[in-house]
Amino acid sequence: MNTQELLKKVRKIEIKTRKLSENIFGGEYHSRFKGRGMTFSEVRQYQYGDDIRNIHWNVTARYNEPYIKVFEEERELTLMLAIDVSQSKLFGSHSQTKKEVLTEIAATLAFSALKNNDKIGVLLFTDEIELFISPKKGKTHVLRIIRELLEFSPKNKKTNINHSLAYLLGVLKKKSIVFVLSDFMDTGYEKNIKILAKKHDLSGIRIYDKTEVKFPNVGLVPMLDSETNALQWVYTGSKKIRDTYHKNYVEQVNYFEEVFSKTGASILNCEVGENYVKKLLNYFKKI
Rounded average pLDDT over 246-255? 92
Q: How far apart are CA 141 and CA 137, in angstroms?
A: 6
Q: Residue-wise over 62-81: b if at least 16 C-beta within 10 A, else e?
A: eeeeebbbeeeeeeebbbbb
Q: Average model confidence (pLDDT) for the chain?
A: 84
In 3D space, the residue among 34, 32, 38 whose CA is nearest the CA of residue 174 turns out to be: 38
pLDDT tens for residues 97-117?
888 889 989 998 998 888 888
What is the structure's pLDDT at 75? 55
For residue 273, which amino acid is it? G
State mean pLDDT over 238-255: 88
81-95: average pLDDT:
76
Whole-angstrom distance, CA of residue 193 vs CA of residue 203 = 10
At 229, give phi and psi (nearest 5°): 65, 15
Q: What is the pLDDT of residue 200?
A: 92
* pLDDT of 22: 67
Is pLDDT above 70 for 122? yes
Distances (CA, A) of 116 to 112, 179, 228, 283: 6, 16, 41, 18
For residue 90, pLDDT over 70 is answered with no
CA 34 to chain centre: 18
pLDDT at 214 over 90: no
Q: What is the pLDDT of residues 142-170, one digit of tens each?
A: 999 999 998 899 999 889 999 999 999 99
Q: Cα–Cα distances in Å, from 43 out to 60, 67, 171, 180?
A: 10, 6, 30, 36
Region label for 253, one of left (φ > 0), alpha (ψ between -120 and 50) or beta (otherwise): alpha
Interior/surface letters 194-214, b for 16+ CB within 10 angstroms, e for the rest: bebbeebbbbbbbbbbeebee
Residue 273 Rama label (left phi>0; alpha psi -120 to 50; beta): left
Looking only at the bridges linking them, the beta strands covering 177-182 and 78-84 are parallel
Nearest to 265 by CA among 208, 200, 206, 186: 200
Name the nearest CA neighbour of 121 among 148, 142, 143, 101.
Answer: 142
Residue 81 or residue 215, greater confidence? 81
pLDDT reported for residue 245: 82
Q: Which amino acid is at 260?
A: F
pLDDT band at 79 (very low <50, low <70, confident <90, very high): very high
Domains and CATH numbers, the chain: 3-33+78-286 (3.40.50.410), 38-73 (no CATH)
* Helix orientation angle between 190-199 and 239-262, rounded to the nearest 10 degrees: 30
pTM for the model: 0.77
34 has pLDDT over 90: no
Model confidence at 74, in pLDDT bands (50, 70, 90)?
low
Q: In the prediction, which pLDDT does 92 show?
A: 52
Is pLDDT at 228 greater than 90 in this prediction? no
Neighbours of 146 (CB within 10 A): 24
How large is the average pLDDT for residues 222-245? Answer: 77
CA 191 – CA 178 distance, rounded (Å): 16
In whole angstroms, what is the distance from residue 114 CA to residue 170 CA?
24
pLDDT band at 25 (very low <50, low <70, confident <90, very high): low
Helix (H/G/I), strand (E/B), else coil: 260:
helix
Q: What pLDDT does residue 3 have? A: 63
